[in-house]
Structure 1
Amino acid sequence: MSTPDWSPFRALARRVLREGAPLTLGDDVRTLILRTAEEVSITDAEAALSTSAGALALVREAERRISEGSNRLTDALHVMWRFQGQGDYERARQQMRDVLAVEVVPYYRELALEQLAGMTGEP
């Protein structure tokens, strides 16, 4: 899986959610939102775009999944590396298992799985 480019979506979300800009659903914006929704495992995105409130909720949820997933994985990686440095590979693996227990974004799940796979030869 390639690294998703969420920069355009995150810029849109920042303008709309933080700066209060209106969410104008032209073809480009609809395509961006739908693609991002798919990448973060949001179903029924097309239906959500049928109303202004639904579109705004969709942007909010996609942004939440990207931000929280990134933070969750980054935090877990730091703890995992600390445990690895201490030679505690079981606790290091558990960090990634904990991420996988709650993460829904496929990209973040793949990264966590790769970390687990990288520790298979360790005690």
Structure 2
Amino acid sequence: MPTQREWDAVKDLSRRITDPVQPFLTPETRALIEATAHDVGIPQGETARALQDDESAASLVREIASRITNGSRRLSRTLVEVDRRRDAGDTDGARQLLQDALAVEVVPHYMNILNTYLRAVDGDS
């Protein structure tokens, strides 16, 4: 399971990357990038290729941060609306929202949360 500290660290790293990219790959940043890339569903081979140089690593860091931020926002909005619809008795609408979110989500942690909600909605039916 991903740690909030690692995700916060990679988002901070993404904000600190300059354009043009200054060297930033250290053993510590490599380890952080490898761990968080895996957490957000980026294949190991793609991560290894990106870590060959600072420029491609910077792009990977930005993608990781984007997946964390966008996925979190999408998840939050979805769950609020799911609860609203479920409370209103619209379990079909709540289920469809969850299925729609699952269709585009790539972050395994967020997918697990959505699946948990989906099981709960299906259990309420």
Q: Same fold (TM over 0.5)?
A: yes
Aligned to 1:89: 91
SS across alignment from 1:50 = coil
Tell me which residue corresponds to 2:26: 26
- Name the CA distance, whole Å, in 2 between partners of 1:27 and 1:15: 17
Q: Measure the CA separation in 1 of the matches of 2:23 and 2:36.
A: 15
Stretches of structure 2 lacking an aligned partner (at least 5 in a row): none
Structure 1 residue runs without a partner (length 5+): none
The aligned length equals 121
Residues 61-72 of structure 1: matches in 2 within 5 Å?
Answer: 61-72=63-74
The RMSD of aligned alpha carbons is 1.9
> Which segment is superposed worse, 3-12 or 26-35?
3-12
Amino acid at match of 2:114: A
Q: Distance in 2 between matches of 1:61 and 1:104?
A: 12
Taking structure 1 as the reference length, the TM-score comes to: 0.89
Cα separation, partners in 2 of 1:20 and 1:89, compared to 1, 3 Å: farther
CA contact (8 A) 1:9 1:36 kept: yes
Matched position secondary structure for 2:122: coil
* Structure-2-length-normalised TM-score: 0.88
The farther-off stretch of 24-33 and 6-15 is 6-15
Change (3 A) 1:115 1:77: same
Structure 1 residue ranges (4+ consecutive) displaced by more than 3 angstroms after TM superposition: 19-23
Using the TM superposition, give the Cα deviation of residue 3 of structure 1 relative to its aligned residue in structure 2, in angstroms.
4.7
1:15 maps to: 16
Deviation sequence 1:57-97 (CA, Å, 0-9, x none): 10111111111111111111111111011110110111110
Q: Name the CA distance, whole Å, in 2 between partners of 1:26 and 1:113.
A: 36
**Letter of the 1:69 counterpart:** G
1:46 to 34, 45, 48: 48
- Following the alignment from structure 2 to structure 1, what is the Cα–Cα distance between the partners of residues 55 and 104? 27
1:33 maps to a residue whose letter is: I
Following superposition, the deviation at residue 23 of structure 1 comes to: 4.8
